[in-house]
Amino acid sequence: MPEAVSARSNELSRTFGPHLAAVERRTTDALAASGFSGLLVHSGSLLEVFQDDRTYPFQVNAPFKVWVPVEDAPDSFVWFAPGARPRLILLQPRDYWYKSAQTPQGYWVESFDIRPVAERALARAQLPKDLSGAAYIGEPFPELASWGLKATNPAALMRRLDYARAVKTPYELACLREASRLGALGHRAAAEAFRGGASEFEIELAFLEACGMREQELPYNPIIALNEGGAVLHYQVLAKRPPAEVHSLLIDAGVQSGGYACDITRTHAREDADFAALIDRMDRMQLSLCAGIRAGVDWREVQLRAHALTGALLREADITLCSAEEAVDTGVTRVFLPHGIGHLLGLEVHDVGGFMRSPEGGDIPRPEGHPYLRLTRVLEEGFVVTMEPGIYFIDQLLEEARGDARGQRINWTRVGELSKFGGIRVEDDLAVTRTGCENLTRDAFAALPR
């Protein structure tokens, strides 16, 4: 086994036990506060395509993944009662049409009482006879009603569990670092394919091959946009042929490891030195935002600072005709940066709990004029967040601005010159510390073999 692989395996083995203990502790506290004696968590079910007997690719539920790093086990369960060893009830049907879930191996299995079942309905026999004090988290299924549980997806319990998920354990950070390592490999291969003249589809294939992943194993479908496609924030097309003239690539693509996702975006210029310089300016702006991250920072202030810096960038690039302050005050920066500056990251790409004021209740509102911000909490040590400033030349937003007073503050000639590039986004994943942050993404790129 290569030394680096062995070191990663040892770290997972060393940190999983304390991670599971932390999950048990916060679940025990949440159950007690919410009035439940036990918790049954469902991995999720296969969803059939309408009027067909095939299913969509399976995606495991995040509340299940926090317990076990098993991602291809539909209709399986974790049962937890405080003070007892957690139980994994693993569906392993006898089937010659599809391959059943494998019996788990590895660093975490000794922590669980693993019980295979051939049918989902048989899972009931592997649970306590009396479930009248227990809560269930997951999608309801027909036979669930007869199992005698106290509540399904109780909001108060789920809120407490979701709130706590924002702080990552050392095990979770190890998984996130490995996801970042794989993501950096994929991004490097994608950039090389772009420089070689590949289509969007071919760039995705290069990314997947370098990561060693199938598309359905990724945490989200990659955004791979050439030229003007970069102005579509969640661009979903993978053109099979490159355009006649290739100007730019915006790639937003991530990988997951142990169920934990990375979320990385990079923008590349083909030959245009002016656009390359603008990317470099955005990169430096992004790093300055990263440098301000530490425990105790209000994320809403990060959003507002990002717009102040965007106003300065737009003026320096001759895209706007007014001061940075005026661009912010009049909403001009929102024409070019319409999305939030980042979000929580972990078991889900846009992880839960971003607005919660406390585990007991209440939400923290977004700043006025920033409806798409996905995080409003004060950062704590152990949070993992994305930092993703950008500027875009979006026809819809530009047309709206042209029709009102904002249009007088925009250099339309310059916008016309830059629109063929679509936009720029630079995104890193940051693990918040007491005094700063660990840049998981930059560290992963820096560690790539030459």
Architecture of the domain spanning 170-446:
Alpha-Beta Complex (3.90)
Q: Which pair of structure tokens corresponds to residue 115?
A: 């019980």
Inter-residue contact 364 to 376 (CB < 8 Å): yes
The total number of residues shown for the chain amounts to: 450
Tell me the DSSP string of 260-328. Answer: EE--EEEEEESS-HHHHHHHHHHHHHHHHHHHT--TT-BHHHHHHHHHHHHHHHHHHTTSBSS-HHHHH
Written as one string, the DSSP assignment of 75-138 is T-EEEE-TTS--EEEEE----SSSPPPPPP-STTGGGSEEEEESSGGGGGGGS-S--TTEEEES
Terminal C-alpha separation, the chain? 21
Model confidence, pTM:
0.96
Query: How many other CB atoms are there within 10 angstroms of residue 181's CB atom?
Result: 21
Question: What pLDDT, on the 0 to 100 scale, is given for residue 4?
Answer: 77
Residue 51 identity (one-letter amino acid) = Q
Q: Which tokens sit at 239?
A: 């053109």
pLDDT (0 to 100) of residue 228:
98
Radius of gyration of the chain (CA): 24
The token pair at 236 is: 């979903």
Per-domain residue ranges of the chain: 3-164, 170-446
Exposure string over 402-431, b if 16+ CB within 10 A, otherwise e:
eeeebeebbbeeebebbbbbbbbbbbbbbb
SS (H, E, C) 341-369: CCCECCCCCCCCCCCECCCCCCECCCCCC
- CA distance readout (Å), 314 to 16, 235, 276, 307, 371: 46, 23, 15, 10, 22
pLDDT of the residue at 134: 98
Maximum CA pair distance of the chain? 73
DSSP state of 189: H
How many Cα atoms sit within 13 Å of 127 on the Cβ side? 28
What would be the CATH architecture of the domain defined by 3-164?
3-Layer(aba) Sandwich (3.40)
170-446: same fold as 3-164?
A: no
Which amino acid belongs to residue 364?
I
How much is the pLDDT for 450?
Answer: 83
Which of 208, 168, 169 has the alpha carbon at shortest distance from 186? 208
| Among the listed residues 324, 71, 88, the one whose alpha carbon sits nearest the alpha carbon of residue 219 | 71
Record the tokens describing residue 138, joined without a space. Answer: 């997951």
Structure tokens at 58: 């399976």
Say which residues have a Cβ less than 8 Å from residue 5's Cβ, sequence separation at least 6.
Answer: none
Q: Cβ distance 57 to 51 under 8 Å?
A: no
User: Is the separation of the CB atoms in 337 and 324 below 8 Å?
Assistant: no
Q: What is the pLDDT along the chain (450 residues), one digit of tens a residue?
A: 577 778 888 999 999 999 999 999 999 999 999 999 999 999 999 999 999 999 999 999 999 999 999 989 999 999 999 999 999 999 999 988 888 888 999 999 999 999 999 999 999 999 999 999 999 999 999 999 999 999 999 999 999 999 999 999 999 999 999 999 999 999 999 999 999 999 999 999 999 999 999 999 999 999 999 999 999 999 999 999 999 999 999 999 999 999 999 999 999 999 999 999 999 999 999 999 999 999 999 999 999 999 999 999 999 999 999 999 999 999 999 999 999 999 999 999 999 999 999 999 999 999 999 999 999 999 999 999 999 999 999 999 999 999 999 999 999 999 999 999 999 999 999 999 999 999 999 999 999 998
pLDDT of residue 1: 55
